[in-house]
Amino acid sequence: MSDRADVLQGTLDLIVLQTLAPGPLHGYAVAQRINQTSRALIQIPQGSLYPALHRLENRGWIDAEWVASDTGRRAKVYRLTRAGRSQLEREIADWRKLCQAIGWVLQS
């Protein structure tokens, strides 16, 4: 068994939306929060994270704005939109159904 999990294809959007649900974060903080909440089992490379953030923004599920950070540098901060919250609810429901179905297969 490996020490970290690879993100299943199609789950990155769900993970990012859930990570942004509590409040706005900049890209690096999204990656850090995912790493932290997954107990370091999920690490999203920048080459996957930033295209996902742009895709979610293009779909209207997140908004982004440039803000001044504590260090005076500008950082792009992402936040969930109303449509993003609805999408997150749908994706969570779909994920739960998939987990249940996989559980049934594993029990057979």
Domain range annotation of the chain? 12-107
So what's the pLDDT on residue 1?
42
Q: What are 29-87's pLDDT values in tens digits?
A: 999 999 999 999 999 999 999 999 999 999 999 999 999 988 889 999 999 999 999 99
Average pLDDT over residues 76-101: 97
Which numeric CATH code is attached to 12-107?
1.10.10.10
- Quick count: other Cβ atoms within 10 Å of Cβ 7? 17
So what's the pLDDT on residue 69?
81
- Please, is 100 exposed, middle or buried when counting C-beta atoms within 10 Å of its C-beta (0-12, 13-18, 19+)? exposed
So what's the pLDDT on residue 9?
62
- The CA radius of gyration of the chain, in Å to the nearest whole number, is 15
Look up residue 74 and give its two tokens.
């500008």
